[in-house]
Amino acid sequence: MDLQSQESILRLSETHGPGNLLVLIGAPDPEAAEISAETVVLGDPAYAGALAGAQLGLDVYHVLEDAVRQDVPDDVWEAQIGVMADILEADALGAAVAGMREQKPT
Amino acid sequence: MVIALGERDGISGPAIAACVEAAGGKVVFVATECFV
């Protein structure tokens, strides 16, 4: 995750509290989705950014997961996500993010 | 409050944000990254 995003997420977490934030990821492949999810749950695995060592434990989902999809009106979903929902492997993406979500520190 | 962390080759940040807002959520940060 780029350094500027990490700084912004850390600041938002400090301002609003990590329990009030939900991260939605739009990564195209499971590896990238997992790294983004890991960064906001357990900290930056590359130890390069502001989230290095920061176990924020943010709630995180891939935008293609059913839990997200079901809350978005069909016309908006079709206009914004459209064919990408068919091209990308939603199940694998969801599983990658869920795996990190379950490692949320208690 | 939602952080929309999109990606250039996947779903963009603004597309995620539009979905969140249509669902009644509040977006506090939007980014579209380029994973390398």
Helix ranges (H only) for A18-57 are: 30-41
Contact A81 B28 (CB under 8 A): no
Q: Mutate which of B2, B7, B8, B11 to disrupt the A interface (most A C-beta within 10 Å)?
A: B11
| Contact in structure between A88 and B10 (CB atoms under 8 Å) | yes
Closest by alpha carbon to B19, among A53, A65, A17?
Answer: A65
How far apart (Å, rounded) are the C-alpha atoms in residues A29 and A9? 22
Contacts of A5 in chain B (CB under 8 A): 5, 29, 31, 33
| Residue A73, domain member (yes or no) | yes
How large is the C-alpha radius of gyration of chain A?
A: 14
**Structural domain contains residue A49:** yes
Predicted local confidence at residue A99, as pLDDT = 97
Tokens of A103: 């490692």
Alpha carbons A89 and A70: distance in angstroms, whole number? 17
* Mean pLDDT, range A4-28, rounded to an integer: 97
In-domain check, residue A87: yes
Residue A93 tokens, joined: 């993406």
> How many distinct structural domains can be found in chain A?
1
B17: closest CA of chain A, how far (Å): 9
Strand, helix or coil for residue B5? strand
Closest residue in B to A69 (Cα) is B19
Is A106 inside any structural domain?
no
Task: Dump pLDDT digits (tens) for B1-36.
Answer: 999 999 999 999 999 999 999 999 999 999 999 866
For the segment A52-71, the average pLDDT, to the nearest whole number, is 97
Structure tokens at B21: 């807002």
Residue A81: inside a domain = yes
ipTM: 0.96
Return the domain boundaries, chain B: 2-33
| Domain that includes residue A78, residue range | 3-101
pTM score, whole prediction: 0.96
